[in-house]
Structure 1
Amino acid sequence: DSEPRSGRPSTSRNENVIEQVRTWVMVDRRITVQELANEIGVRIGSVHSILTEDLGMRVSVKFVAKLLTMEQKQRHLEIAQDMLDNANSNPNFLNTALYSPDMVPCDFWLFPKLKMPLKGTRFESREDIMRNVMTLLITIPKDAFKKCFQQWRKRWEKCVSYQGVYFEGD
């Protein structure tokens, strides 16, 4: 199965074609593998291999990457890598990241925990909101907060693994 095939070498995975795929994807992040194959004139399998193996991108239906510019993606990757490096060398650190809901514990963990029980509730004042939120906060066990930070670390690893791509959901 893993033996090299005899015959002509593949001409669809050369630097020129790889660069064309990269350019098309950067211009239109929503372009499909089929559209890329048609535009560039290579097989769908070749485009898929270029995207996943040569460009390190993920082609998936389950996780849909949020549309980010290359600069945003690079910054996202740098922040996640920095946080992982800092966590590995000093577990008591905390670095401020740019706003990115998949990397902010309040957004991916705390707010949903607070919003669900309060959904549909009418409050008379800000103090009433604060009182209800505080009541909920003190009921969250310490273990749950610890799990949140473990999830946070996994999100940094995922960001680094996927080269800065932003994902919604787990």
Structure 2
Amino acid sequence: MGENRLISIDIDDETLGASGPDAEHERRVAIFDLIEENSFGLPDHDKGPYALSLSQVERKLVFAIRDEAGEDVHTFILSMGPFRGVIRDYFMICDSYYDAIRNQTPHQIEAIDMARRGIHNEGSELLAERLEGKVNVDFHTSRRLFTLICALHAGQTR
């Protein structure tokens, strides 16, 4: 694996604690998937791999990035405002999807799942745009980071 990748993700439970076992499970899966495969690099910095710490300050997401030795490399803050609508829509379509699995035909489930993936892609693209100039990520890493952000906000938005 290359140097432009994440090797660990730490969540500040004080500010971003998942609520309930389902949210905690989603968070663990999102972290595992992200660590398993990602592309994460800093512009003008080639000393990866990196460790990422996520926390929240005044409804803003804080990305604190360290190198493999634990030395601080870069910290930046993203406002959650631009994500609120897409996260809300994503949770609504996920609820519809899980309900459809129990009550609808395979064709209806597939249609809802396509909409769910579309909203997830929209959130992933928004995240990639907001990270531009701060962190270089590929589409799959952006998707996994968006999944993690959603998992972290599951209890706060529902």
- With normalisation by structure 2, the TM-score equals 0.27
Work out which of the two has the higher radius of gyration on C-alpha atoms and give 1 or 2. 1
- With normalisation by structure 1, the TM-score equals 0.25
Q: In proportion to residue count, which structure has more helix? A: 1
